[in-house]
Structure 1
């Protein structure tokens, strides 16, 4: 495969996030990368796709910065770009949870390698905690994992009382790539939990290095692939079509933009409902045209740091 997909994050102080964003945006444009990158005073977070040589150069440049020397890239092959556009944005946090004062580079849960996580996850004194949103863990999760009823990660702090029953256990947190666990485990420590761990590199690294054993279903990812296989040892599908309830790991956004629910919908039902989650949404006057994908990328503001606000789309290379 000629392309790579890079998933990465690093908590490290960035003094001038706006200036860094401008410089980093230029780097991505030069290397013809596409994807979503967040820059914040607390660090860097991104998922990008590009030609193999361009991605390798990007990794070299990023890791050459002393602030990101410890950054680990999760690297997966791809047939083509998995993004249509490039977005590089400045935000208060690199993953939004509303806890900007928590600094994982100062204190966070104990990092477990995929093998260490695998060895610990079934022990009697361990609770495996999924810190992701509903639509993510409904698509795939570790066997016997504790899941939370949250639509967004920013709701996680409000669930701490529900987790109090596990204070005498070892809590193994996990998420897609590890970034949410950094803040989730740090927050749990702040709230008085003593034995808090995290799967370093997340589900993606666990799949790459430990075969994904005992991860049921597929892993939701925030690029054009939407759902990816993780488990090559004992795979299964746990999600079902929202409409007909047959097994399906095909995730779509409802074509009605006022609903926009993210849910599994099999191909047959998606065609029948024209991408909507229900007959009611199918009849909505604002329903978006269904092109067979069930994804509706946000419009870019077409910002190019070299030329200001112009129409820009990273060329294929």
Structure 2
């Protein structure tokens, strides 16, 4: 029986008190018996946590009382066992490293497409304006091997810092099309979409909430395989259950 609630979330929001915030969040998480990892950077927060449902949801509810985190959106899944060994809160330069200081998602998000609209577009073979829709996987190559959208573009990067160079090399692949960047939970594809728009691609959208939200809202339609996750579950099926 699945009894452990797993939650992932991120939010680009300016943080200027990371050291104090680190201590407070670590104390609260440990008091609730949670395990996982929280990353704090000047650009925002990224977290994956697991524990009993009351503890996890209580932690998130308290976090949202801070106005900077009020808009934090979470993705939930369940597991039979605790997938993390300890509770870590780390200070980082970026919550997802891209090494492109001009990208500031907190200053304005790239436009997004929700899961249900994307499924309709993929069913129809085009977006609402009649443009061809191409799916762009912004994850690392080993993650893509577990599963990805049908006919998705995969530039076979091994780390996200390679994405800008890959985008420049393959710019012609995206011309004249509606590009939907996607990743596990939304954080990488958000930065990727902003970068591509800055690079001159006008019709780029991020998949809101990433693959996990897509699985939650529409299941596995147009997706082949499972979604790799960075914990002991290894990968999740479209039903958001651990890969067997």
Settle same-fold status: TM greater than 0.5.
yes
Output the CA distance in 1 between the equivalents of 2:186 and 2:169. Answer: 22
User: Which shows bigger deviation, 165-174 or 113-122?
Assistant: 113-122
Judged with a 3 Å threshold, the aligned counterparts in structure 2 of structure 1 residues 207 and 55 are, in CA distance, closer, same or farther, namely same
* Alignment map for 1:85-124 (pairs within 5 Å): 85-121=86-122, 122-123=125-126
Q: 1:177 aligns with which of 182, 185, 195?
A: 185
Cα-Cα RMSD? 1.6
Is the Cα contact below 8 Å between 2:36 and 2:85 reproduced in 1? yes
Structure 1 gaps of 5+ residues are 233-248, 251-317
> Aligned residue for 1:189?
197
Q: Runs of at least 4 residues of structure 1 off by over 3 A?
A: none
Output the CA distance in 1 between the equivalents of 2:114 and 2:59. Answer: 25
Q: Post-superposition shift, 1:109?
A: 2.2
Structure 2 gaps of 5+ residues are none
* Deviation per residue, 1:114-154 (Å, 9 max, x gap): 10121223315211100000001111000010011211111
* Alignment map for 1:215-234 (pairs within 5 Å): 215-230=223-238
Residue 142 (structure 2) pairs with residue 135 (structure 1): yes
Output the CA distance in 2 between the equivalents of 1:83 and 1:191. Answer: 38
What is the TM-score of this pair, normalised by structure 2?
Answer: 0.91
Q: Post-superposition shift, 1:100?
A: 3.3
Q: 1:156 aligns with which of 159, 163, 173?
A: 163
User: Which shows bigger deviation, 197-206 or 122-131?
Assistant: 122-131
Residue 23 (structure 2) pairs with residue 18 (structure 1): no
* Alignment map for 1:61-100 (pairs within 5 Å): 61-100=62-101
Q: Post-superposition shift, 1:90?
A: 0.3
What is the TM-score of this pair, normalised by structure 1?
Answer: 0.71
Output the CA distance in 1 between the equivalents of 2:50 and 2:36. Answer: 6
In the alignment of these two chains, the number of paired residues is 234
Rg larger for: 1
Q: Post-superposition shift, 1:113?
A: 1.2
Counting helix residues as a fraction of each chain, which structure ranks higher?
Answer: 2
User: Which shows bigger deviation, 46-55 or 154-163?
Assistant: 154-163
* Deviation per residue, 1:45-76 (Å, 9 max, x gap): 01110111101101111122111111110011
Output the CA distance in 2 between the equivalents of 1:6 and 1:67. Answer: 19
* Alignment map for 1:197-208 (pairs within 5 Å): 197-208=205-216
Q: Post-superposition shift, 1:2?
A: 2.6
> Aligned residue for 1:296?
none
If asked which structure has higher relative contact order (CA below 8 Å, sep 6+), I would say 2
Judged with a 3 Å threshold, the aligned counterparts in structure 2 of structure 1 residues 49 and 159 are, in CA distance, closer, same or farther, namely same
